[in-house]
Structure 1
Amino acid sequence: MKTAILRLLLVLVLSLGLATPAAAEGETAGWWNKEWSYRKAVTVDTSPSGVNVSGAIGRTVVLVRLHSGNFTFTDAMDNGADIRFVDSDDKTPLPYHIEQYDAATGIATVWVSVPNLTGGEKKKIWVYFGNKSAPVGADVPGTFDPDYTAVYHFSEKPGQPATDSTANANSAKVAPPGVDESGIVGRAAQFPGQGALTIDGSGSLAMTAGAPFTFTAWIKPQQLGGQQAIFARGGLAIGLNAGVPYASGPGISVSGNTAVKQGEWSHIAFVSDGKAFFIYVNGTEQGTAAGAMPALDGPISIGGATSQPYTGALDEVRLSKSARPAAMILAMAQAEGPGGKLVSVSETAEKQSSGSGVLSFIVSKLEPIDTVIIGLCMLLLIAAIALMTAKIRYLNAADKANKRFLRYFDAMRDDFRPLDQAEGVSPEEAAQLNRASPLARLYGVGFEELYERVVAAGARPLSSQAVNSMRAAVDSQFVKENQKLDHLVVILTIAISGGPFIGLLGTVVGVMTVFGGVAMAGDVNVNAIAPGIAAALLATIAGLACAIPSLFGYNYLNGRISALADQMRVFIEQLITRMAEVQANAAQAFNDQN
């Protein structure tokens, strides 16, 4: 509740200085389902501005990375069950499933099946969310097309068997030897040089002679020496030879031309189209040879084979009974790897029946620490405004009361008397002047000092010591008046000097959090960075919004306080001189009479 109030206050304050927010992506011309409150555009870009893929890709699975920079987790269910993906026609739901969804950290990875993808285009699909009563909509087996015979995300918890994400249920009976929490997408399987996964043969995994076949995987080898099998079945082995990807078996001999990097993720693919074999590394073809696949059956080994152990991590292992096109393999490598440009999520969410303001979108991306710092700046600004208002009211009342008092003071001439006994001054007005006029209070102190000395000295003129004593008493009151004028003005100096630094601190912490979140999500693009940085900059804006009015107010008040102080100094000189002169003249007249 407090966070919502602070954000509302921030929007109200910033809206005074910012232009009218732009509309989101336009009014919602169509809406797939009215029970969902929000949607965002997801662009799959195979044009030169994206991954620059040419040729037909067909139906493919793309990875959509959601994080706090491009998705408002608070508007969706805590487990992401209300997320839906809809094709560009805004009518056809797309199969998808969630590999990872953590609303607390603001990170999610979702696999979406996109139909009829072609190179050189920008295809827009929609992600809908914001239906707290929606049932789970994920379709794990429907996400991958029927040509996928086995897909392993390795997203299971430690100790759990590797599960096939296709409808074929070709799951392993045991868990991988280890788990790598920093996989290319969520968790990955870790192999320490022993303990490969075994997948039993099945009808869906049958491989007849001459049939097409594709194997893809993300690998992170921990050592490059010798031969390491990543996939093995019968006489076929796909793996690394001194770090160079290769495939060998009956009638099969093909390898890449460069070694992968040790300790870094690389995407490898082996494709057989019935006429030739191809090796791809990070989406680029590196080797080819003529030939066709032999008939293979029996169990499949992943993560090592007899006399060819694998040491390293594996992620996103996929087997297909079709020859995947080169465009699909490139798109796959570019979409899933760090800094992928294939998929981008719109910065701005559309709300049903209306667009969303840029400013409100930025505010929604605030990190908790920035919200606290902005709230602190706003409280400091409120305190500064309250102080300036109170001081200006006090100074206005003092100026008005001083003018009235001076009229009565000038009318007294040399006939000094208590203010409530002055001609034309009622007791009520005298009390009001003593409350509001600093000059009246100085006069009151001076008159009391004069009266005491007249009673004590009688008809004698005041001595220089007595005059100095009167001046000291009035000066003491002058100091009190100055202290009253300067009371709490330090709040303005704190706001002026501290506000920008507090705001800068919030911005630095916010930017650090954004980059940390992007690093954790593995999604490096402007859509991932821009919203968080824009939100972090609000902290600096809040600091400046606190400092700038305080600076103008401080200078204005300082000028008026100085003017009032000068007026009091002049009055003190005039008052003491006139009182001493009046007493001297009275003493001289008394002596002349006697």
Structure 2
Amino acid sequence: MPLTHNRVFSILWACVFFGLFVWSSSASAWWNDDWSMRKKITLDTSPTGGNITEPINGMTVLIRLHAGNFRFGQAKDDASDLRFVAGDDKTPLKFHIEHYDPLLAEGLAWVYLPDLKPGSKEDIWLYYGNKKAAAGGDAKGSYDGDQLLDYHFAEKGTPAQDSSVWANHAQSVGVTAEGSIIGTGLRLDGTLRFTLPASPSLAIPDNAAMTWSVWVKPASLQRNAVIYSRRDGSNALLIGIDDGAPFVEVTNNGTVQRSAAGAPVAPNGWHHLALSATPGLVTLYLDGASYATLNATLPALNSTALLGGDSAPPAASPPPADTSSASSASPPAADAQAAAGGAQAPAGDAQIPASAQAPAGPAYTGFAGDLDELEIAKVARSAGYIKAAAEEQGADHAKFVTYSVDEETASWFSGYFAVILKSVTLDGWVVIGILVFMAVVSWVVMIDKAMFVGRQRKANVRFMRIYRQLTTSVAMAEGDEVDKLENESGLLAPQMQKALRHSSLYRLYRVGQEELGFLMTGYQRGGILTAQAIAALRAELDAGFAIESQKLNRLMVLLTIAISGGPFLGLLGTVVGVMITFAAIAASGDVNVNAIAPGIAAALVATVAGLGVAIPALFGYNYLITQIKDLSTDMQVFVDKFTTRTAARYAIHSLQRQQPLAAE
């Protein structure tokens, strides 16, 4: 089937409407249309991101929000409209907000992912922008049931609150450390102790599995500085840093085992320290990588635990045994004396029971520095999990978590566009109103004219099919026989005339037939039309052609006005808007980007509106003018053929009448 201009135009329109349908469908395919904004967040565990190769499984990830990746002005001030949805854009995820400050443009949210896979990229959606939304955070649901404790240290003046479902809240009020690696942290000075409860859920059975992790920032190099200690009779678990080297020490029925010292870490820097214990093996991790191992089993521990130091100053004793063939030397007397002076019971806390007092062993000092994000689980987290936590929460957060652009619902009155429209001045609205009127007029003209030329083309094709049959029969006919043939072809029938009313060629044909009938009046039947008669016929047909051309070109001038006048009107509105903006700035004396940008952006709306009028009108005009030229050419050709064939037909008829007379 040949691809005509009309068919091409129809296909183009179908493509436009299909594109609009797809766009509107994708724009409306949101988790919930009550939320006007969303952002895609990608968690990258592939080699280009966190480079995690071992299983992770369920994990609570940190989402950092700031002015560079989040539009705080579109969300509620209390962050109650924030929602996190899985990559399928259907499944809501559990989350809670640790910190949110729209004035400082910063926020911290923790989102639980049921199955985070290694070596892949997983998308989640952040939805916001619903002023009627109620708070949707769920701290207890943001962790799996194996998470026994999670302290963000975001509280000020109150004990740290456990975000897990077990509610293992701290028993001490710590000193807040501002500007920690994740919001606020806990500051320790070597003498303060921070007490964790001896709850049943935190009890460690003999030979149990466990995961412990914290972000640590040592203030200086210390000998045997204890970060975490838990003693129960002759059993104990200590985690600390000795001259910059992290260590874990396990005491089981009085037998002390300490991990071998590795490469020391420099003070005043944040590091992720984690412990993963399984029956017979304790692994110490530093910044997500395995740092030391200890062939030991965790003993049963049911007492309180401390952050910042040991529970009591031990008496002097030989160094602890080390199954890794690496022993720690006892600290010098000066250090022991300092340790004894610094090991105080936490103020305001219950006295530590006698069963928790330390047995004889090396002297320890209290840890001096900052801590953040303490986590304890009753299972041994995988190496992939620990590495993912260190990468995702630390300095490489930008590699692990990437933020896409903000998306808005299909609304002209939300987001940046709403800010621009609110800044448009009265003169701008006047120009935009005129341009909108011009746009409506141009679209009406284009649609009407496209329908007009389409109907005319179809009717012309139908007429020419009949006319070709008629001219073949008329070649040997004359007089009343011509009218008879027209009746037989249906051209003179009212039904056919109604069907061909849109054909310009049919109207020209009727003009020619009426003029021919007038010219033949007074001529003898079979006479020859003179040159003057043919010229008169041609003049009448040319007049009909001019009338038809006027019909085709009617209202096309409105499109030329829209094409040429639209951009100039838009430019006028922009210039006036810029003038008013700078005049207002000069009057107020407030010269800054925030004062200039809205006015300039609003002024440019007029130019955009002008182009929005001109560009569609330009496309439509070029298409229509091509169709009009084609129809005009068809009419011109028909006029030439009709005149020539009419003159030839009557000349032939005359010769046929004269031949019998000459024979006589």
Q: Using structure 2 for the length normalisation, give the TM-score.
A: 0.50
8 Å Cα contact 1:233/1:299 also seen in 2:
yes
CA shift, 1:277, in A, is: 1.4
Alignment of 1:77 with 2:50, yes or no, is: no
**Residue pairs, 1:456-535, within 5 angstroms:** none
CA shift, 1:346, in A, is: 1.4
Letter in 1 for 2:400: L
Give the Cα–Cα distance (whole angstroms) in 1 for the partners of residues 287 and 133 of structure 2: 38
Give the Cα–Cα distance (whole angstroms) in 2 for the partners of residues 537 and 317 of structure 1: 47
Can you list the C-alpha shifts for 1:434-491, whole angstroms capped at 9, x where unaligned?
xxxxxxxxxxxxxxxxxxxxxxxxxxxxxxxxxxxxxxxxxxxxxxxxxxxxxxxxx9
Give the Cα–Cα distance (whole angstroms) in 1 for the partners of residues 25 and 43 of structure 2: 20
Alignment of 1:188 with 2:192, yes or no, is: no
Which of 262, 266, 283 is the matching residue for 1:261? 266
Can you list the C-alpha shifts for 1:284-326, whole angstroms capped at 9, x where unaligned?
1111232221111200111222343110110001111111111
CA shift, 1:243, in A, is: 1.2
Give the Cα–Cα distance (whole angstroms) in 1 for the partners of residues 24 and 179 of structure 2: 35
Give the Cα–Cα distance (whole angstroms) in 1 for the partners of residues 144 and 112 of structure 2: 8
State, as a whole percentage, how many aligned pairs show the same letter. 35
Match of 2:473 in 1: none
Letter in 2 for 1:146: G
| Greater CA drift, 287-296 or 206-215 | 287-296
Letter in 2 for 1:37: S
**Residue pairs, 1:161-560, within 5 angstroms:** 161-176=159-174, 178-234=175-231, 235-250=236-251, 252-255=257-260, 257-305=262-310, 306=312, 307=339, 308-340=365-397, 341-351=399-409, 354=410
Can you list the C-alpha shifts for 1:94-148, whole angstroms capped at 9, x where unaligned?
1111011011111101011011101111100111111111111110111111111
Structure 2 CA distance for partners of 1:132 and 1:285, relative to 1, 3 Å:
same
Give the Cα–Cα distance (whole angstroms) in 2 for the partners of residues 262 and 29 of structure 1: 52
Can you list the C-alpha shifts for 1:208-258, whole angstroms capped at 9, x where unaligned?
111111110001111112111111111110010111111002264224512
8 Å Cα contact 1:245/1:255 also seen in 2:
no
CA shift, 1:175, in A, is: 0.7
8 Å Cα contact 1:45/1:122 also seen in 2:
yes
Letter in 2 for 1:316: E
CA shift, 1:339, in A, is: 4.0
Alignment of 1:143 with 2:201, yes or no, is: no
Match of 2:40 in 1: 41
SS of the residue corresponding to residue 189 of structure 1 reads strand
Give the Cα–Cα distance (whole angstroms) in 1 for the partners of residues 596 and 385 of structure 2: 39
Alignment of 1:97 with 2:102, yes or no, is: no
CA shift, 1:34, in A, is: 2.3
SS of the residue corresponding to residue 385 of structure 2 reads helix
Match of 2:107 in 1: 108
SS of the residue corresponding to residue 105 of structure 1 reads coil
CA shift, 1:29, in A, is: 6.2
SS of the residue corresponding to residue 27 of structure 1 reads helix
8 Å Cα contact 2:37/2:406 also seen in 1:
no
Give the Cα–Cα distance (whole angstroms) in 2 for the partners of residues 327 and 215 of structure 1: 15
Match of 2:56 in 1: 57
Give the Cα–Cα distance (whole angstroms) in 1 for the partners of residues 25 and 390 of structure 2: 33
Structure 1: 5+ residue runs without aligned partners? 1-22, 383-490, 511-535, 546-594
Structure 2 CA distance for partners of 1:201 and 1:240, relative to 1, 3 Å:
same
Give the Cα–Cα distance (whole angstroms) in 2 for the partners of residues 24 and 202 of structure 1: 55
Structure 2 CA distance for partners of 1:256 and 1:356, relative to 1, 3 Å:
farther
Give the Cα–Cα distance (whole angstroms) in 1 for the partners of residues 24 and 60 of structure 2: 26
Give the Cα–Cα distance (whole angstroms) in 2 for the partners of residues 216 and 363 of structure 1: 46
8 Å Cα contact 1:277/1:288 also seen in 2:
yes
8 Å Cα contact 2:239/2:247 also seen in 1:
yes
8 Å Cα contact 2:200/2:302 also seen in 1:
no
CA shift, 1:24, in A, is: 11
Match of 1:160 in 2: 158
Q: Using structure 1 for the length normalisation, give the TM-score.
A: 0.56
8 Å Cα contact 2:38/2:406 also seen in 1:
no
8 Å Cα contact 1:207/1:296 also seen in 2:
yes
8 Å Cα contact 2:42/2:402 also seen in 1:
yes
8 Å Cα contact 1:348/1:356 also seen in 2:
no
8 Å Cα contact 2:176/2:184 also seen in 1:
yes
Letter in 2 for 1:239: G
Can you list the C-alpha shifts for 1:246-280, whole angstroms capped at 9, x where unaligned?
10022642245122221111111111122311111
Letter in 1 for 2:69: N
CA shift, 1:52, in A, is: 0.9
Structure 2 CA distance for partners of 1:227 and 1:25, relative to 1, 3 Å:
farther
8 Å Cα contact 1:271/1:324 also seen in 2:
yes
Structure 2 CA distance for partners of 1:34 and 1:345, relative to 1, 3 Å:
same
Match of 1:407 in 2: none
8 Å Cα contact 2:250/2:296 also seen in 1:
no
CA shift, 1:173, in A, is: 2.0
SS of the residue corresponding to residue 270 of structure 1 reads strand
Letter in 1 for 2:173: A
Give the Cα–Cα distance (whole angstroms) in 2 for the partners of residues 26 and 60 of structure 1: 33
Structure 2 CA distance for partners of 1:343 and 1:362, relative to 1, 3 Å:
farther
Letter in 2 for 1:167: V
Structure 2 CA distance for partners of 1:26 and 1:316, relative to 1, 3 Å:
farther
SS of the residue corresponding to residue 384 of structure 2 reads helix
Give the Cα–Cα distance (whole angstroms) in 1 for the partners of residues 270 and 67 of structure 2: 25
Structure 2 CA distance for partners of 1:342 and 1:24, relative to 1, 3 Å:
farther
Give the Cα–Cα distance (whole angstroms) in 2 for the partners of residues 24 and 299 of structure 1: 59
Q: Say how many residue pairs are matched.
A: 370
SS of the residue corresponding to residue 259 of structure 2 reads strand
CA shift, 1:92, in A, is: 1.7
Can you list the C-alpha shifts for 1:65-107, whole angstroms capped at 9, x where unaligned?
1112111112111100011111122222111110110111111
SS of the residue corresponding to residue 164 of structure 1 reads coil
Match of 2:512 in 1: none
Structure 2 CA distance for partners of 1:74 and 1:146, relative to 1, 3 Å:
same
Structure 2 CA distance for partners of 1:63 and 1:356, relative to 1, 3 Å:
farther
Give the Cα–Cα distance (whole angstroms) in 1 for the partners of residues 243 and 27 of structure 2: 56
CA RMSD in angstroms comes to 3.8
8 Å Cα contact 2:37/2:129 also seen in 1:
yes
Give the Cα–Cα distance (whole angstroms) in 2 for the partners of residues 203 and 113 of structure 1: 25
SS of the residue corresponding to residue 77 of structure 2 reads coil
SS of the residue corresponding to residue 56 of structure 2 reads strand
Can you list the C-alpha shifts for 1:138-164, whole angstroms capped at 9, x where unaligned?
10111111111111110001x211111
Give the Cα–Cα distance (whole angstroms) in 2 for the partners of residues 70 and 240 of structure 1: 37
CA shift, 1:191, in A, is: 0.6
